[in-house]
Chain A
């Protein structure tokens, strides 16, 4: 269980975004194209919070609005309805001058490399450092180092004509990241690359996220790079269809898998549970459920110990991996006991409905529960 203890700490950190700075905050964002009768809504009441330093992969069919959302976040389109905050600035009603300033803090990597054929790789990247006002003697080693890191050390002074498609794309990536932006917006950055250079690019993204706490938002259909995502957002018909913290869920699945009650669940069932599960912390001595109330949630103890009290008398102590609260849900009865945190406790919760749906979908889970309930009586 020590392994679980360790993971849990990471999990708790990943779970509580409120304490960390938000890079992107989308609230009730609507967007329309066209005027008058031709007006067509393309984004519907979208809400999204992305923390600084997250790597987010956005997927969805074409026409799902992901590109519109990306251009709105990139200040390339003006916000019509709702609130959109990027790197601490509200974009609804922002002035053109501020937009230009904001854009300098963002790194753009487009699907097309958009390099000037007349400029060398070095000069193309210089267009970015010059705009940022980085002195050329400071910029020179930085540009060379970045190009070297992207495997273009021998191609620094080549023009795009003499570069392969993948090399051109890497120059464009160098241009997008050279000024150490706070936010990188990338559209299919690996589409033109072979597996190896694609991997190299996402590794650089990961390093940027880790070392410079840079937020990276990638629109991609490239399955090979899904593993770098902290969060995967799926958009359908102008709405965020799913928004999953994949890293968190992977850790969570691992933890849940360590608990007897979930041990025999299929990987799909576990990840279904992980999708729906919530986490809550309880300080020592606090009441988790109270005898006599109608139960709304099912609890699994992630860490710490709890006391079970019936009519004010302690009858049992449960620790990590144990669960409680199921009787009230299954039998539609009031809580038959009070549960109090004996130490500081972290619990995973499933709401009544979600508990029921997991129960319906998994016979093993149901069996486990019945056995447990039976043994407890």
Chain B
């Protein structure tokens, strides 16, 4: 039932102070949900960020390796097999150390860091390609590496744009000279990244075997000009059979995210966090609506006595809930954005606020308010005009 007197809006905005509190409450719930979803996305986004940057069309990996952090490798000889397939331009190794690498600066505690080793002829990271190429000659020298600018500051290195290099440190007890920087990003498992030549990688991680480079972590396949990625993928799969898995970059990313989302409690934890935000929002919104109804019970009962039906009250409460949701969402979004920026700066995680994600939270906010509206409606329908006399 449409009413030219905007009762829902008037009631909501009549008491400015209470409206401010209400909007603050909803905004807080919005912030909670954004944070939880944001961290959740950040976890996934950050984890696969390195994969997004890899300069390749297809990725080879040990079929048993269920996540990047799971250090199951495959023999490098399979790269030669792959490289000899028709349509394949190159198949290059990427060496990774997640767990055993420890970097320290003099006087500081050694901290774990991810180390990437690559063939200097083929800089594997797309985004930092030019940066890496410009420093490639220095990387040929022993005990040299590039450090990720977004690495945690607690390593003790000066990583600002105007920082001076080289800087000295120790990697697994051996001297290392950091000759410059590149950019990738942190994730939950890794506080920083080092990039070095395969040769240097071999000297630092001798425990990988008599030939430390005989086992590779990822194989990066580039498809030759004119060849179909789809066909190359199929022929590689046929050739490598069960020995090495081959997948597109997107398939790899999906698999990685699916692992974190399904096989670890992290996805569930953030889901619970988000639900908590939702529930907090429902409670806050319900309190506000129920309070408003309780304070106007006499007025609403009078409307009932006048002949207003349940449909009217239903529309009234839902409208009020939606207004409240929208009013709370706007500052909630703003503060979430500020907090995302702050978090990204603090943690180096990728905190991205894309339109689909904003829309999702908006819908969650509106449904949160509608749910509490429906809960509060029961109170309104219980208003008894007979009690007015």
Contact = CB atoms under 8 A, between A and B. Distances in A.
Interface of A: 67, 70-71, 74, 76-77, 100-104, 108, 110-112, 114-119, 123, 126-128, 130-131, 136, 175, 187, 219
A126 B4 contact: yes
19 contacts: A67-B389, A71-B385, A74-B305, A76-B385, A103-B304, A103-B307, A108-B306, A108-B385, A110-B388, A111-B389, A112-B388, A116-B10, A116-B11, A116-B296, A118-B13, A118-B14, A127-B3, A130-B5, A175-B306
A126 B6 CA distance: 11
Given A77-B386, A114-B302, A123 B308 contact: no
B20 to A, nearest CB: 16
Interface of B: 3-5, 7, 10-11, 13-14, 296, 298-299, 301-309, 384-386, 388-389
Contacts of A67: 389
A323 B149 CA distance: 122
A136 B296 CA distance: 25
A101 B307 contact: yes
A127 B389 contact: no
B299 A130 contact: no
Contacts of B306: 103-104, 108, 127-128, 131, 175
B6 to A, nearest CB: 9
Contact of B302 (A101, A110, A123): A110
Contacts of B5: 119, 123, 126-127, 130
Contacts of B298: 110, 112, 114
Contacts of A100: 307-309
Contacts of B13: 118
A130 B3 contact: yes
A190 to B, nearest CB: 16
Contacts of A131: 306-308
Nearest to A136: B4
A353 B14 CA distance: 66
A119 B4 contact: no
Given A128-B306, A187-B389, 5 more contacts: A104-B307, A108-B302, A119-B5, A127-B7, A136-B4
A110 B303 CA distance: 12
B310 to A, nearest CB: 9
A117 B308 CA distance: 19
Contacts of B7: 116, 118-119, 127
Nearest to B388: A110
Nearest to B302: A114
Contacts of B14: 117-118
B301 to A, nearest CB: 7
B145 to A, nearest CB: 67
Contacts of A119: 5, 7, 10
Q: Give the interface centre of A71, A111, A126, A187 by most chain B CB atoms within 10 Å.
A: A71
A70 B305 CA distance: 12
A61 to B, nearest CB: 15
Contacts of A101: 307
Lowest 10 A-B CB distances belong to which pairs?
A: A118-B14, A103-B307, A104-B307, A118-B10, A76-B386, A114-B302, A114-B298, A71-B386, A76-B385, A108-B305
